[in-house]
Amino acid sequence: MSIRTNILLRVYLAFGLILLFAAAVLFQLCRVQFVQGKKWQAMSKVQSTRYKNIEAARGNIFSVDGSLLATSVPEYELRMDMLAGGIENDKIFNEKIDSLAMKLSGFFGDKSAREYSRIFRDARKDSSRYQLVRRKVTYHELKEIRKFPIFNLGKYKGGLIVVQQNKRIRPFRFLAERTIGYKNENVKNGVGLEGAYASYINGESGKRLERRMAGGVWMPVNDDDEIAPKEGADIISTIDVNMQDVVQTALEKQLIFTKADHGTAILMEVATGEVRAVANYTRMPDGTFKEKFNYAIAGNQDPGSTFKLASYMALLEDNKVDTSTMVNTGEYPIPGHLIKDSHGSIGRVSVKKAFEKSSNAAVAYLVNTSYKNDQSKFTDHLYDWHLNEKMQLQIPGEAQPVVKNPGNRSWNKNMTLPQMAYGYEMQLTPLKMLTFYNAVANNGKLVTPVFVKEIRRLGNTVERFQTRVVNEKICSDVTLKKMQEMLEGVVLEGSGREYVYNPLYKIAGKTGTAQVADANKGYKAKKQYQASFCGYFPADHPKYSLIVVINDPKNGYYAASVSGPAFREIADRIYASDMEVNQTPAHLIGNTTLPKFKQGNLKALKKVYNKLGVKPLYASATPNGIDTSSGIAFEDNKYKTGTVPNVTGMGLSDALYSLGNAGYKVTVKGSGTVTTQSVTGGSLIPKGSKITIELQ
């Protein structure tokens, strides 16, 4: 082959390869343009622009008295377009940038004027359109910054870019912290009211068009491409700020004094079930206390002796015992276990006295012997009172109550029933126990606790929450009256007298000391205790119910001395500040005071009053008088034949006369006026029975 032919072949081959390459490029261009065009166009838009969600300002949470518990405050991030229209000319930029740097340095004090100037000049060289100036700027600071050199040229000429962010704050800081709760990106399910009502509080997010800048920074385009967010609705809670402060202060003080691990206190309004205050404290490693866990609604544990209210209520309702029934205290053996009274035996006493002194042996014996052959009859009462059910609270995290029945696999026919009688072999939260006591204070009406009264949007009510009645009457009026008197007796004469009793007003309640089981080692491990006091006040016309629970105290463990002082302090301060319960009604009477008298022979009393000329014009100050314009209309003390007369308020002679005529033997303690009687008036007991009356 000649040299010429060889050269031509190489040229043709090279030319052919060039044509082939050109054809491939042309083919690929057509493919990208027409076949994959939409795909690449969409990708280009995604990579260069995007719509970002703008979080709406969350709604406020208010207390029942109108105080702000949680709110959203705008916080701003400031950036600067270094090539904005007003400073596009280098001369103008150089003339004014040092003045801006000096203003920012003097205002924030974080950098020198020279540092600010250098940052801005370097950003100018890099043609930055989104240079960071400052994070976490308040609204008031922003108003001042807009007046600074360059920034005062206007929204677009000055180059100031303001990115708003919402910051959640609590004006009262740690007050009701766990009840208010929180919701953020790191928590899947929110906590407290913030989490439970997030769908209302969150509002509707807006959208903002952003453009991708060099370095992966996204910059807002302009306000024309922005969809404004809609603020969330407001929540009106049942929390009272002043009461919350009282409860938290008293609980923390007692936790520190008793060197406890954690504790909770709940204050509730009797009639409505509205929770006025909830405090939950946990000891931190440094010895301080913080709200880290909601023990009030999630702290499931053996309630201990506070549960005796339910046990005695069942016994009285089924007529198994009466308040005068005599029972031994001290010890009660059951197969495999000996039930003991922590303070030792107080001998053979009435059921009322056994309750007041919190005898474990007495209640275990009474429940076990009364229901041994029909154990489900006892647990049926507990189920009828809904103690085994969740209360469907308005905030998340409620623990499932554990109340056994004979159908459970873990039920022991010899041990479970007597141990349940004094608050073991079950799991109940403090709020669950308080709700049951609240029903006794509420004349038998069981209502669920309420945390939120209503939801408002722009001042208009969106939804209002009413009190939900679970059971109109948990027991008969006779049983209810006896239980109320027994609860008052605990404070007047029983385990609560030393630490809870206040002579200015009546308190009813019950102590509860329970040994807490270790999750792995049971009750045989290092002994830990839970001390509780649950009750209500004022006992003669209850308005508030309250429970204080303190866990693992190191400075004593009996409920009366551990939880009692905190209960007393809270009750005293609430009573002193609430004019509805701490106010003597005004009486318009002709005689400003009436002679003090004792109940008894009303015929003789009327004769004395007539001789004295006592005739009130408008109102009567006597407990058994009825208002008339012509004088006092008296009501005699009546009782059914065969029942115990009510001698409370009588003098000794009248009390002995009434009880003696009714056929009962009387033991007298003290002198003065009858304040208590061992058997409640109206009770059915055999004639010849012994009744003790106490006079003061």
Average pLDDT over residues 170-186: 79
Query: In the structure, what pLDDT confidence band is assigned to residue 596 with cuts at 50, 70 and 90?
Result: low
- Pairwise CA distance, residues 329 & 354, whole Å: 7
Whether the pLDDT of residue 129 is over 90: the answer is: no
What's the whole-number average pLDDT of the chain? Answer: 84
Query: In the structure, what pLDDT confidence band is assigned to residue 637 with cuts at 50, 70 and 90?
Result: low
- Pairwise CA distance, residues 171 & 56, whole Å: 20
Query: In the structure, what pLDDT confidence band is assigned to residue 627 with cuts at 50, 70 and 90?
Result: very low
What is this structure's pTM?
A: 0.71
Give the range among 53-67, 134-148, 607-621 with minimum mean pLDDT: 607-621
pLDDT tens-digit series, residues 530-564: 999 999 999 999 999 999 999 999 998 899 999 99
Look-up: residue for tokens 């596009």?
A: 88
Other Cβ atoms less than 10 A from the Cβ of 74: the count is 14
Whether the pLDDT of residue 403 is over 80: the answer is: yes
Query: Which residues lie below 8 Å from residue 460, measured CB to CB, with a gap of 6+?
Result: none
**What percentage of the chain exceeds 90 in pLDDT?**
49
Q: What pLDDT was estimated at residue 3?
A: 80
Give the range among 117-131, 391-405, 636-650 with minimum mean pLDDT: 636-650
Average pLDDT over residues 2-13: 79
Q: 655: which DSSP letter?
A: H
Average pLDDT over residues 309-336: 95
- Pairwise CA distance, residues 615 & 589, whole Å: 9
Query: In the structure, what pLDDT confidence band is assigned to residue 88 with cuts at 50, 70 and 90?
Result: confident
pLDDT tens-digit series, residues 92-101: 899 899 999 9
Please answer whether residues 313 and 306 qualify as being in contact, where contact means their C-beta atoms are separated by less than 8 angstroms. Answer: no
Query: In the structure, what pLDDT confidence band is assigned to residue 316 with cuts at 50, 70 and 90?
Result: very high
Please answer whether residues 268 and 449 qualify as being in contact, where contact means their C-beta atoms are separated by less than 8 angstroms. Answer: yes
Whether the pLDDT of residue 363 is over 90: the answer is: yes
Whether the pLDDT of residue 311 is over 60: the answer is: yes
Query: In the structure, what pLDDT confidence band is assigned to residue 437 with cuts at 50, 70 and 90?
Result: very high
Whether the pLDDT of residue 635 is over 80: the answer is: no
Whether the pLDDT of residue 382 is over 80: the answer is: yes
Q: Is the dihedral of CA 28, 33, 34, 39 positive or negative?
A: positive
Query: In the structure, what pLDDT confidence band is assigned to residue 271 with cuts at 50, 70 and 90?
Result: very high
Query: In the structure, what pLDDT confidence band is assigned to residue 644 with cuts at 50, 70 and 90?
Result: confident
Average pLDDT over residues 73-88: 87
Average pLDDT over residues 666-693: 76
From the list 265, 268, 263, 267, the residue with the least C-alpha distance to 292 is 263
pLDDT tens-digit series, residues 215-268: 555 666 665 556 767 778 899 999 999 999 999 999 999 999 999 999 999 999
Q: Which two tokens stand for residue 490?
A: 């605990």
Query: In the structure, what pLDDT confidence band is assigned to residue 416 with cuts at 50, 70 and 90?
Result: very high
Q: Which two tokens stand for residue 662?
A: 């009714």
Q: What pLDDT was estimated at residue 566?
A: 96
Greater confidence (522 vs 353) lies with: 353
Average pLDDT over residues 21-44: 75
Whether the pLDDT of residue 60 is over 50: the answer is: yes
Whether the pLDDT of residue 524 is over 80: the answer is: no
- DSSP for 299-337, written as a single string: --B--GGGGHHHHHHHHHHTTS--TT-EEE-SEEEETTE
Whether the pLDDT of residue 528 is over 90: the answer is: no
Whether the pLDDT of residue 444 is over 90: the answer is: yes
Q: What pLDDT was estimated at residue 207?
A: 72
Greater confidence (430 vs 644) lies with: 430
Whether the pLDDT of residue 376 is over 70: the answer is: yes
Q: Which two tokens stand for residue 26?
A: 């042309």
Query: Which residues lie below 8 Å from residue 476, measured CB to CB, with a gap of 6+?
Result: 317
Give the range among 22-26, 79-83, 516-520, 525-529 with minimum mean pLDDT: 516-520
Q: Is the dihedral of CA 639, 645, 649, 652 positive or negative?
A: positive
- Pairwise CA distance, residues 359 & 367, whole Å: 13
User: Cα 632 to the chain's mean position, in Å?
Assistant: 48
Q: What pLDDT was estimated at residue 36?
A: 73
Whether the pLDDT of residue 523 is over 90: the answer is: no
Q: What pLDDT was estimated at residue 522?
A: 55
Other Cβ atoms less than 10 A from the Cβ of 505: the count is 16
Give the range among 61-70, 79-88, 192-201, 292-301 with minimum mean pLDDT: 192-201
From the list 418, 400, 52, 47, the residue with the least C-alpha distance to 208 is 52
pLDDT tens-digit series, residues 452-507: 999 988 778 888 998 999 999 999 999 999 999 999 999 999 999 999 999 999 99
3-class DSSP string for 526-567: CCEEEEEEEEEECCCCCCEEEEEEEECCCCCCCHHHHCHHHH
Whether the pLDDT of residue 599 is over 70: the answer is: no
Which class for 376: exposed (0-12), middle (13-18), buried (19 or more C-beta within 10 A)?
middle
Greater confidence (180 vs 281) lies with: 281
Greater confidence (217 vs 208) lies with: 208
Please answer whether residues 662 and 644 qualify as being in contact, where contact means their C-beta atoms are separated by less than 8 angstroms. Answer: yes
Q: What pLDDT was estimated at residue 617?
A: 35
Residues in the chain: 696
Please answer whether residues 181 and 192 qualify as being in contact, where contact means their C-beta atoms are separated by less than 8 angstroms. Answer: yes
**What percentage of the chain exceeds 70 in pLDDT?**
82
